[in-house]
Structure 1
Amino acid sequence: MDHKYSNARGHFFAAVRALAASSDSIQARLIDANESILNVTLDEFEGDRELKIKFARILDLLAVDDDDIVSTVVETAAHMTDFEAVKVADLICDFCFELI
């Protein structure tokens, strides 16, 4: 069994579940999904430049670099339009699929 990216895969699967399994607004679901995503680090994709860049893009869309990234993500996601939030949710789902 391939254990490459198993930590990231588990966290992104939980993020996709949070996005899919709720009747809350897309912004609220994105905030819930990020509780899992923020447990993943760029270092986990060392050696795979493409995945590292895609993950960095997701992080970049969620929050600017700040001392308290969790509160920044919550604030950013809460003020996204539905279109922006769906775009980020799509990127999260696509990234999860690439980890499988």
Structure 2
Amino acid sequence: MDEIYTNAREQFFAAIRILASSPDSIQTRLIDATPRILQVTIDEFESAHELKIRFARILDLLAVDQDDIATAAVETAAHMTDFEATKLADLICDFFSDLE
């Protein structure tokens, strides 16, 4: 079995489980999934430029202010429309799929 992106796969799988299994609003589910996503670093994708760019896009959509990304992500997700939050959740799921 290929061990590349092991941490990213584990964290994104956990994030997807949170997104899929909660009865809360999509914004709350994104907030709850954020700590798992933040366990992944952009350096994990150093050799895969496309994945690196896509991961950076997820981080940018999750938190506009990069100084304290965890706090900013909570504030950003809380103010997203359902459409914006669903779009971000779709990107997270697609990204996980590409890690396989």
Taking structure 1 as the reference length, what is the TM-score of the superposition? Answer: 0.97
Post-superposition CA distance 1:19-61 (Å, at most 9, x none): 0001000000011111100010100001100000000000010
Is 1:93 aligned with 2:97? no
Shift of 1:81: 0.2
Match of 2:20 in 1: 20
One-letter amino acid of the structure 1 residue matched with residue 61 of structure 2: L
Identity %: 70
State the distance in 1 between where 2:60 and 2:13 align: 20
State the distance in 2 between where 1:70 and 1:34 align: 7
Gaps of 5+ in 2: none
Matches within 5 A, 1:2-21: 2-21=2-21
State the distance in 2 between where 1:39 and 1:82 align: 25
Gaps of 5+ in 1: none
State the distance in 2 between where 1:56 and 1:68 align: 15
One-letter amino acid of the structure 2 residue matched with residue 3 of structure 1: E
One-letter amino acid of the structure 2 residue matched with residue 38 of structure 1: L
SS in structure 2 of the partner of residue 57 of structure 1: helix
CA RMSD of aligned residues (A): 0.7
Tell me which moved more, 64-73 or 87-96: 64-73
Number of aligned pairs? Answer: 100
Is 1:38 aligned with 2:38? yes
Taking structure 2 as the reference length, what is the TM-score of the superposition? Answer: 0.97
Match of 2:61 in 1: 61
State the distance in 2 between where 1:65 and 1:42 align: 16
Shift of 1:14: 0.3
